[in-house]
Every structure is written in structure tokens, then in C-alpha cells.
């Protein structure tokens, strides 16, 4: 009979740890795949490519962006959630990753359990905008009108469960007002009817709306973030415009499959943080309306779980469903 002595167990554990450390120090030894759950050319795809190029330069291996669009980012996220946890398959996560668990109760993966956070990359404000001819020159005027005539003010969105829908429902619940939802099949037709003054207002990404505001085609009432946006510092926040505590942002961040070794997560986090610090990368993100924002894996994990809880409350309170 062979006895497995404590000394032998200790030596085996030490050898295993040494082997794992040596392996992770060699990482990466081949190209890394960065999955984006949206089509090429969109904001998430562009942000991914900007950061991927710099990370690849720093790590000495290409970071190849792979587009897997469909189901509000679920298809791409599912690919990463089920990939080997070895640091060679990553996900460019967006706000949809925190909303989808509430909108899609029968998802094929659990993003909270099956993915692990690496770092946030950037955050993007939404703008609350109206047609210049609408009788709401300020957020206060809008809130006063909504409280005087509940449900009389219409708002356009890109469809049920879209960012424009969720942000406006969060506004309604936070401010204690009732607005009437007018869903469209996409952001473009929704914006067209606001521009044509068929619908009073909408919430949309600052990169889409700010040029229209500057051209005088839209009136900006407020930004969605707690702090004013660097790309539009003259526009007040909702928090300072009569909706205390309002803070909502679209965001980009990197995730890996759950179970990825912590030293690999730490290495990736370091490279993301340094890449986003690069002046060229930061400038290009700001051009997208995305404010560079990084931090530790633990901070991003906490933020992400908070986002899941926040949007679950909004979805349930508003009774939002997707087909």
C-alpha cells in the first residue's frame, strides 16, 4: 500500500503552483480573440478595435476582434461564457449585458456567474432631448408639465428594452412622473419623429444627439450621468435639474470566462488600464462620446452587479417585455 504523505502532498502542490505561475507568465503565446456582440462599424465595435490594437501592441500578440451580432449582444456573450477560461477569448461587454438578464428570462448563460470582470473601458452619457418647438425649454418645465398632465407627454424609443426606453423609464420612476412610450423599430425612425416634432422627446446616446443639438435641430435638456460630460460640459445633469440621484450611463468593459486564472485577469487589467491611458486611445474614445474610465477587476465587478440590480428594478417596475 502506498501512503500519500503530507510532505509529498506539499511538494506536489508547490510544483503545481510553480507550473501554473510559469504558464501564466508566458501568457499570451498566441492571438487573443475579442468578441463583440454587435455588427462591425457600430460604436461598440469601434471602441473594441481602438483598445484591442493598443493592448495587442503592449502584449506582443494580436487581439483580433470577432463580431457575433444578434439578440441584443447575447449571442456574442454566450460564445465567451462557454469558452475555455484561458485568457484567449474575451468579451467587449456593454450595458446590454446588465439589462438582458431581466429582459430575457431564458438565456442560455448567466452573465453574472459565467463571466468575470476585467476592467471598464469607458462610459457614455445619454442626452434627454426635445424638438426645439416643444414647450419644454428646461427639465423643470418638462417635469412640471408631466406632473400636471400625467401620461400626456410622449417619448420615442428604439423599441422595447432599448437604452432609450430604459433610461426614460428610470427618469419617470425617479422623478415620480408618468410618460407615454412610443416604440419604434430602431433609433433612426424614433429620432426622425422627434426631429419632425411628431413625438415630444427622447433619450439617446450623446454621440448621436450632440451634433443635432449643435445644429439647432434638437434642444438638450440634460445629460444622464451624475457628473457633466466632458464632451458637452455646458449641458446640466438631471441630478442638478430637479431629479436628485439620477445617474445612468452606457458603458464598455472587458470580461473573460468565469474561472480564468486571477493572475491572467490581473495582467489583462493592467494592459487595459495602460492602453486606455494612452493619449491617442483616450482621444479616440472621446471622439465617440465615450469618456475613458478604468479600474480594478473588483471595482468593475461591483459596478456590474449594481447595474444588473438597477435595471432589473426598472424592467420589473415598468413591466418591460421583449418579443
What pLDDT digit, counting tens, does each position of 257-294 carry? 999 999 999 999 999 999 999 999 999 999 888 899 99
Mutual orientation of helices 96-103 and 297-318 as an angle, nearest 10°?
40
Q: What is the pLDDT of residue 7?
A: 55
Q: What is the pLDDT of residue 23?
A: 42
Q: What is the pLDDT of residue 49?
A: 96
Q: What pTM was computed for the model?
A: 0.86
Mean pLDDT on 5-33: 61
pLDDT at 19 over 80: no
DSSP H helices, the chain, are 6-26, 43-59, 74-81, 96-103, 111-114, 139-148, 163-175, 187-195, 206-214, 262-277, 279-287, 297-318
Q: What is the pLDDT of residue 16?
A: 43
Mean pLDDT on 153-163: 93
Burial grade of 22 (CB within 10 A; 0-12, 13-18, 19 or more): exposed
Asked whether 170 and 307 are in contact (CB, 8 A), the reply is: no
Mean pLDDT on 179-203: 94
Alpha-carbon separation of residue 72 from 47, 68, 144, 204, 291 (angstroms): 17, 10, 35, 17, 23
What does the mean pLDDT of the chain come to?
91
pLDDT at 2 over 50: no
In this structure, the strands spanning 154-157 and 180-183 are: parallel
List, in order, residues 6 or more apart from 113 with CB less than 8 Å away.
258
Query: 213-244: per-residue pLDDT in tens?
Result: 999 999 999 999 999 998 899 999 999 999 99
Give the strand order in the sheet containing 89-94: 63-67, 32-36, 89-94, 250-257, 115-124, 290-292
Mean pLDDT on 104-126: 94
List, in order, residues 6 or more apart from 152 with CB less than 8 Å away.
145, 146, 180
pLDDT at 22 over 50: no
Query: 23-73: per-residue pLDDT in tens?
Result: 456 899 999 999 999 999 888 999 999 999 999 999 999 999 999 999 989
Alpha-carbon separation of residue 14 from 4, 17, 24, 86, 134 (angstroms): 15, 5, 15, 21, 70
pLDDT at 138 over 60: yes
- Residue 140: pLDDT band with limits 50, 70, 90: very high
Residues 51 and 272: their CA atoms lie apart, in Å, by 8
Q: What is the pLDDT of residue 21?
A: 46
Amino acid at each position: 500500500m502506498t501512503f500519500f504523505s503530507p510532505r509529498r502532498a506539499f511538494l506536489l502542490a508547490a510544483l503545481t503552483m510553480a507550473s501554473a505561475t510559469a504558464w501564466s507568465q508566458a501568457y499570451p503565446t498566441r492571438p487573443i480573440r475579442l468578441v463583440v456582440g454587435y455588427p462591425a462599424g457600430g460604436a461598440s465595435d469601434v471602441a473594441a478595435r481602438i483598445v484591442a490594437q493598443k493592448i495587442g501592441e503592449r502584449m506582443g500578440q494580436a487581439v483580433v476582434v470577432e463580431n457575433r451580432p444578434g439578440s441584443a449582444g447575447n449571442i456574442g456573450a454566450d460564445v465567451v461564457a462557454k469558452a475555455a477560461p484561458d485568457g484567449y477569448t474575451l468579451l467587449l461587454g456593454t450595458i446590454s449585458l446588465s439589462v438582458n438578464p431581466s429582459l430575457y428570462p431564458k438565456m442560455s448563460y448567466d452573465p453574472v456567474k459565467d463571466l468575470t470582470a476585467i476592467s471598464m473601458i469607458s462610459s457614455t452619457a445619454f442626452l434627454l432631448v426635445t424638438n426645439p418647438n416643444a414647450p419644454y425649454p428646461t427639465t423643470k418645465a418638462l417635469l412640471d408639465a408631466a406632473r400636471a398632465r400625467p401620461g400626456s407627454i410622449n417619448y420615442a424609443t428604439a423599441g422595447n428594452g432599448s437604452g432609450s426606453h430604459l433610461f426614460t423609464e428610470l427618469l419617470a420612476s425617479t422623478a415620480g412622473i408618468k410618460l407615454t412610450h412610443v416604440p419604434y423599430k430602431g433609433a433612426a425612425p424614433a429620432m426622425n419623429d422627434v426631429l419632425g416634432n411628431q413625438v415630444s422627446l427622447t433619450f439617446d446616446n450623446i454621440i448621436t444627439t450632440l451634433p443635432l443639438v449643435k445644429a439647432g435641430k434638437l434642444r438638450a435638456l440634460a445629460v444622464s450621468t451624475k457628473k457633466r460630460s466632458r464632451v458637452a460640459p455646458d449641458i446640466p445633469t438631471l441630478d442638478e435639474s430637479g431629479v436628485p440621484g439620477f445617474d445612468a450611463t452606457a458603458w464598455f468593459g472587458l470580461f473573460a470566462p468565469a474561472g480564468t486564472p486571477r493572475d491572467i485577469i490581473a495582467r489583462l487589467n493592467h494592459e487595459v488600464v495602460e492602453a486606455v491611458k494612452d493619449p491617442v486611445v483616450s482621444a479616440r474614445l472621446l471622439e465617440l462620446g465615450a469618456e475613458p474610465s478604468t479600474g480594478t477587476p473588483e471595482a468593475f465587478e461591483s459596478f456590474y452587479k449594481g447595474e444588473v440590480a438597477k435595471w432589473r428594478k426598472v424592467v420589473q417596475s415598468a413591466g418591460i417585455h421583449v418579443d
